[in-house]
Homo-oligomer: A and B are copies of this chain.
Amino acid sequence: MLQTSARLLRLLSLLQIRREWSGSDLAERLEVDVRTVRRDIDKLRNLGYPVNATTGTAGGYRLGAGAALPPLLLDDDEAVAVAVSLRTATNGPISGIEDTSLRALTKLEQVLPSRLRRRVNALQSYTVPIPLRPGPTVDAAVLTTIASACRDNERLRFDYRDHNGTASLRVVEPHSMANWGRRWYLVAWDVDRADWRTFRVDRIEPRTPTGPRFTPRELPDGADVATYVSARVNSATWRFRARILMHASAEALSDGLKSYGALEPIDDNNCVFVTGADSLESLAVYLGMTGVDFEVQEPPELVEHIRELGRRYMRASGTE
């Protein structure tokens, strides 16, 4: 019965909007009898969604936290907020959830009405262009395009700049994407070259529309994606590797720095911070945030950037 199913969804939606509902309130909103509401609540419970009820004068129904997640019923604004947040998270400061965020984002964007998509894009343009972590950021729209193609086994055409800067047009059968370090990689079968290739996503410019569907291939030697990608890009994750002697204990710095690199304790007043970066400028700025004195051990070029920054600050403070 269409009415019944739709009503169940509406009921779930109502229970998500406000915590506590009385049976008669729900009956009024759903335009059915109170008895039917009770039965619907029962149905939800049978479906695994825990609806807690309290009797008495201040009684009512409330949706609780159960074993499984009920379908999320978002309104327009909320959907936009979720999409924008997820887009930021795929480039974001929290490591370990980039690929899952991307999966959720792909799911959401597939069904996002176009008027909402426009709002997401508009809001996204306010994103802070100065990355908190050094390194290039990847366009979230590109990520979702590629992720969809991977998921749906659709051929992909894109312009690619390789590490020398030479451009080429590629037609590939995308296999999967991997998040390594701060970068995204696409593993795909290059149709023209008839071989497997690994592409850096920040160098990809997809062309629309995507191509026809294909039957997926196995990776050579039955390798899984993580090992395959790491074997190929391991060495080249960062342009620069840096070692900094910090004049503070490893514990004191741990909160702020541990997600950016490794801290090797020396004594109560010193430790070594090992990290990587693509841009020495941003690394130099970042070191200033720590509020701690430091000495650069590697790379020597970093010293020059730090001296330049120091001079700029001295000029700004009028102490040449």
Contacts and interface: CB of A to CB of B under 8 A. Distances in A.
Interface of A: 1-2, 4-6, 8-9, 12-13, 16-20, 43, 46-47, 49, 58, 63-82, 84-86, 88-89, 92-97, 100-101, 103-104, 107-108, 110-114, 116-117, 123-124, 126-130, 132, 148, 151-152, 212-213, 255-256, 259, 281-282, 284-285, 287-289, 291, 293-296, 303-304, 306-307, 309-319
Nearest to A291: B281
13 contacts: A1-B1, A16-B107, A65-B110, A66-B111, A69-B76, A71-B72, A94-B124, A126-B259, A129-B256, A130-B256, A130-B289, A285-B288, A293-B315
Nearest to A128: B93
Contacts of A88: 85, 88-89, 92-94
A216 to B, nearest CB: 12
Task: State the copy count for this chain.
Answer: 2
Given A19-B152, A85-B88, A132-B132, 10 more contacts: A5-B5, A6-B47, A12-B71, A65-B111, A65-B114, A69-B112, A97-B123, A128-B132, A296-B316, A313-B313
Nearest to A60: B213
A20 B13 CA distance: 27
Residue of A67, A97, A101, A112 with highest tally of chain B CB at under 10 A: A97
A129 B254 CA distance: 11
Nearest to A122: B96
A58 B73 CA distance: 32
Main secondary structure of the interface of A (DSSP, over half): helix
Contact of A316 (B66, B85, B94, B287): B287
A89 B46 CA distance: 35
Contact of A100 (B12, B77, B103): B77
A117 B13 CA distance: 21
